[in-house]
Amino acid sequence: EFNVNEDVELPNVREVSEYIKNAKENNTLVLLSNIQLNMAELDKKISASNFMPTLSTNLDYGYSGSASDVGVFKSASSIGYTGSVSLKWNLFDGFKKQRALEKAKINIEVNTNKKQQTLLNIEKEVQNYYDALSHNIKLLKLENKNKVVAKINLERSKDLLNNGSITSFQFRQAQLNLLQIENRINNLNYAIKVYDYQLLRMTNELIK
């Protein structure tokens, strides 16, 4: 006898737009793309800052004094701070700074394009899983209706077999029909679980 679990609970399927939105915000590949892009932008800021002048400061504390000519007692003294500020530019470094900045800009562009492609791929993949999930749920509902009809037909076939209206072969065909439907229902339940799992994986909701 073929056993079928009739108590399988269907997943709570949301709108596809919600799955896509959550995937674009929380998918691991998107989070990694964001990190790479942020690092590229930080690298650009560091490279750009190398073109700024270097600020140097100097602060001193001391005593200074002076005396007048011999015979006339006049003197002056002071105790205090003295300081200076200077700016320094490195005008020529073999274009190293310029090359580093250009490389950083290119890196940002590359990572931006990679992120956009990642988002497109994720949206497409989510849509495919969603379509497959929805399609299998519809098929499951249809097969459950077919199962009800097949059970009724099997009971009727038993009566017909008992009164000699049909052969044992025809009765066996009614049994096989029900078993095939139950087999398809089991397969559909499994497929639904798989596609629901994939959607939760894409939206990074498995760990919640």
136 assigned to some structural domain? yes
| Element containing residue 29 per DSSP (H, E) | helix 28-49
The CATH number given to whatever domain includes residue 166 is 1.20.1600.10
Query: Could you identify the residue written with the tokens 């998107």?
Result: 30
5 assigned to some structural domain? no
Predicted local distance difference test score (pLDDT) of residue 92: 59
Predicted local distance difference test score (pLDDT) of residue 154: 97
207 assigned to some structural domain? no
List Cβ neighbours of 164 (8 Å cut-off, separation of 6 or more): none
Alpha helices in the chain (DSSP H): 16-26, 28-49, 96-162, 168-202
Distance of CA 181 to the CA centre of its chain: 38
Count of domains for the chain:
1
Q: Which domain holds residue 172?
A: 16-62+79-202
Predicted local distance difference test score (pLDDT) of residue 63: 44
8 assigned to some structural domain? no
Model pTM? 0.71
Structure confidence by residue, pLDDT tens digits, 56-96:
555 555 544 444 444 444 444 455 555 565 555 555 565 78
9 assigned to some structural domain? no
- pLDDT tens per residue, the chain (208 residues)? 434 455 678 999 999 999 999 999 999 999 999 999 999 899 888 877 766 655 455 555 554 444 444 444 444 445 555 556 555 555 556 578 788 888 889 989 999 999 999 999 999 999 999 999 999 999 999 999 999 999 999 999 999 999 999 999 999 999 999 999 999 999 999 999 999 999 999 999 987 5
44 assigned to some structural domain? yes
Structure confidence by residue, pLDDT tens digits, 17-28:
999 999 999 999
Q: How far apart are CA 205 and CA 190, in angstroms?
A: 20
4 assigned to some structural domain? no
Predicted local distance difference test score (pLDDT) of residue 137: 97
67 assigned to some structural domain? no
Predicted local distance difference test score (pLDDT) of residue 43: 84
